[in-house]
Each structure stands twice: as structure tokens, then as C-alpha cells.
Amino acid sequence: MRPPAAPRPPLPSARVPEATDTSPSSDTTETPGTTDASSEVVLRCRWCGRRFDRRPGPGRPKEFCRQGCRQQAHMARKLADAYGLGPGDVIVGRESLEQLQGALYCLQAAIEDVDRDLAEARTKGDLEDALRWLLDNARPLAGVWIEPRTSDG
């Protein structure tokens, strides 16, 4: 028998830098100021993180971009309940966690370096070098996306 898939957590604002903080009761992340041509608010799917438009009309607002995402979230909640995992718990592979921790370490070191460089900066070139160093160390972290572990991996 295959081990159960781990549940996907709601997308916190930290994973979506341009989104505002959401209350703990709201798992759908609204992106403020982002609208399409018809002035509809853009949301992110609770399961996959894809953007989708909030459609006006009766009924509850959508939380998922597709029916498949809604179904996956439902199955994950059922499995989490069966194994005693809370709504904020997630199982992540060690390699993914180590990748994130390594990228965070590089960013922390770059911030310390840039703080020192800015205190000693004398020219516009010094500031540009410090900014370039910070961006070079921040970009890998911006590309990290941790997926909950499933039975496949």
C-alpha cells in the first residue's frame, strides 16, 4: 500500500511576495491593486497558487482555480485528519528544506555584507555594487518553491 500524500498548506503571504497578509481564517490570497480589464480582484488558488479572477455574482467566492485543485485539497484534508496533522502542518522533503535553508543563509550573509558596504560606501558605484551583490544572493531564493511531499517523492 502506498503511503498517503501530505496535505498542501494554504499559501502564506511569504510565498507570494506581492500579496498582502491574510487573516488565519482566510486561505485565499488576494493581490491588492491587481485587476484585469473588467476591474475584478485577482486571487490565488489555495492548492496550486495559480492566479484567477474573482467573479461577481451569488454564492461563495471561489478558493480554487479548477475543480481538480479543489478535489486535491479535499483529499489532503481527509488524509491529514486521518493522520492527526493540523491545518498548518506539512510534510516537506529534507532536500527541499535544505535548499531553502541554504538560500536563506546566503541571503542573510549578503544582507550583513551589504550593511557593512553601505556604511563604508563613498560613491554611486559602491552603492551599485552593494545592490548587485544583494540581488545576486536574493534571486535564487525568489525562485524557491517548496511543494509538500507526496507519495511519489
Residue 32 phi, psi dihedral angles, 5° rounding: -65, 145
Average pLDDT of the segment spanning 101-121: 92
More confident residue, 153 or 54: 54
Mean pLDDT (the chain, rounded): 74
CA–CA gap between residue 38 and residue 56 (Å, rounded): 11
CA–CA gap between residue 151 and residue 2 (Å, rounded): 7
Q: Return the bridge partners of 29, or none.
A: 44
pLDDT of residue 40: 60
**DSSP per-residue letters across 41-64:** EEEE-TTT--EEEPPPSSSPPP--
